[in-house]
Amino acid sequence: MIKIWGRPNSSNVQKVLWAADEIGVKYERTDAGGAFGIVKEPRYLAMNPNGLIPTIEDGDLVLWESNVIVRYLAAKYGKGTLGIDDPGKRALAEKWMDWGFTLGVPNGPLFWGYVRTPPDKRDPAALEASRVKAIELWTIVEKQLANQPYIAGKDFTVGDIGLGVFVHRWHQFPIDRGTMPNLAGYYERLKARPAYAKHIALPLT
Ligand SMILES: N[C@@H](CCC(=O)N[C@@H](CS)C(=O)NCC(=O)O)C(=O)O
């Protein structure tokens, strides 16, 4: 059984939980980060000197960096699910997973602004700049999904995990998202996955 450290409302922890459930890896999760603290304690810093979440332990192996953890779970336990043997095909999926961090750049201020900042303390100009940047990036996704159900093709891959956490958040913000029917359909497909419904498609906190 692997051990996952991190509060479940963190997008980076959510990717790991989602991947673990897609693969069917058994895990136990311990709350850490945010109001739970723990991450600045010596025992945690010895595992992850960044004092950030997520961190996993799999026997003697300790890993941090959410995308690396998802890659590891897919490679080690994901045969027949998220694991891809062909290096080229795997890279095409991982490309989109890592590009999720690009989407995270405008998502971060939108999330903090609309979810964790009271209305009277928000910065409308900064929120609008992030919305415009996000639309530019979601347009890339919209085009990519024109002829395929998932971001790297016909199959669900780690690429969808890297983007999917932000797809849900994007659809919760009280903003003009433009018209993106492919993205809307993608969101519905993701929501139909039990692990997405369990870990990602939840009220934002
Ligand atoms: N690149 C890292 C980023 C990790 C990160 O920034 N985690 C945030 C939560 S999403 C964190 O630990 N914040 C401090 C906290 O929750 O105490 C990863 O992908 O794992």
Which residues are within 8 A (CB) of 191 and not within 5 positions of it... i.e. 6 or more apart?
168, 197, 201
Ranges in the chain, pLDDT < 70: none
pLDDT of residue 48: 98
pLDDT at 31: 98
HSE toward the beta carbon, residue 171, CA cutoff 13 A: 20
* Residue 159 and residue 106 share a domain: yes
* Residue at 203 is within a domain: no
pLDDT in the model for residue 78: 98
**Nearest 5°: phi and psi at 153?**
140, -145
Which residue has the CA at smallest separation from atom 10 of ligand 1?
10
d(CA 132, ligand 1 centre) in Å = 25
Whether 107 and 76 have beta carbons less than 8 Å apart is answered as: no
pLDDT at 12 (0 to 100) = 98
Q: Provide the mean pLDDT of the chain.
A: 98
What is residue 42's predicted lDDT score, i.e. its pLDDT? 98
pLDDT of amino acid 170: 98
Nearest residue (by CA) to ligand 1, atom 15, is 33
Determine the pLDDT at residue 153: 98
* Confidence (pLDDT) at 173: 97
Query: What pLDDT sits at residue 51?
Result: 98
Number of domains in the chain: 2
67 and 135 fall within a common domain = no
Query: Residue 5: phi, psi to the nearest 5?
Result: -105, 130
Give nearest CA residue, ligand 1 atom 12. Answer: 52
By residue range, what is the domain housing residue 66? Answer: 2-77
Instruction: Say what the pLDDT of residue 118 is.
Output: 97
Q: pTM for this structure?
A: 0.97
